[in-house]
Every structure is written in structure tokens, then in C-alpha cells.
Amino acid sequence: MNNGNGTKTVKLSALQRVGLENVLGEQRGKREELRTFYDIRRKVRLTQEEKDLYMREVGGGQIAFNAAAASKAPELEVTFSQVERLRLIKLGDSMDMPVGILDWLEPLLIELEEKA
């Protein structure tokens, strides 16, 4: 949903939220450069209750996303500012990634690229 002032409200699946949190968490840079990504991560981060529902232990202290359980999760509406939108689009256009990330990232980027 376009909010007029450059902000955009989108619905994110649990998979998109986990993926976005992980991708943003891997970014490196100076504090000021990372502040926008930090703010976005705070918006999309799963609650502890959601983690309990959608994450599972796979042994050896490792945790994996339970896609089957998460597919039933309600989507979360998140409003991105114009600055956040542009930073996410730029990140999506510039980072090296495996093609599988596009399964969840491309629909989000397309929506963010639509005129606000």
C-alpha cells in the first residue's frame, strides 16, 4: 500500500521476515550506514513466541526455519520509510546472493520499487 509520502506498507510472510533479518544482519559498515538496516531489522524481527512456533532445533545447537509451520503464519504489515525502501532496493541490486534468496526477496523488492 502506498502511503503517499514515500512510505510504503507491505505484508511480509514469516519467511520474508526471517530472511530479511538474516540478510540485514550480515551487512557490514560504519554505524551510521547500518542504522537504517538496524531499524528495519527491529521492525521485522520475529517475537520469541513466533520463534518458538516457526524455528526448530536440528541438532548440534543449530536452529532451522520450519517452513511448513510458518506457511500458516499471518503476514505482518510493515511500513517502510522512503529511506528504508531505497536502501533495501539498493541492497537487493548490489549484493551477491544465491538464487534461492530471490524466492522471498524478489517479490518484496518488486513491491518496494512500485511508486509510493
What would the pLDDT profile of 47-57 be if each residue is shown by its tens digit?
999 988 888 88
Residue 26 domain-assigned?
yes
Q: How far apart are CA 44 and CA 12, in angstroms?
A: 8
Q: For residue 2, what is the DSSP state?
A: B
Residue 2 domain-assigned?
no
Cβ atoms of 57 and 65 closer than 8 Å:
no
Q: How far apart are CA 8 and CA 25, in angstroms?
A: 22
Please report which residue ranges of 5-47 form alpha helices under DSSP H.
Answer: 14-25, 31-44
Distances (CA, A) of 65 to 3, 27, 106: 32, 21, 19
Residue 19 domain-assigned?
yes
Residue 1 domain-assigned?
no
Note down the domain range covering 31: 8-110
Residue 75 domain-assigned?
yes
Mean pLDDT of the chain: 91
| Count of domains observed in the chain | 1
Residue 115 domain-assigned?
no
Q: What is the pLDDT of residue 68?
A: 86
Residue 54 domain-assigned?
yes
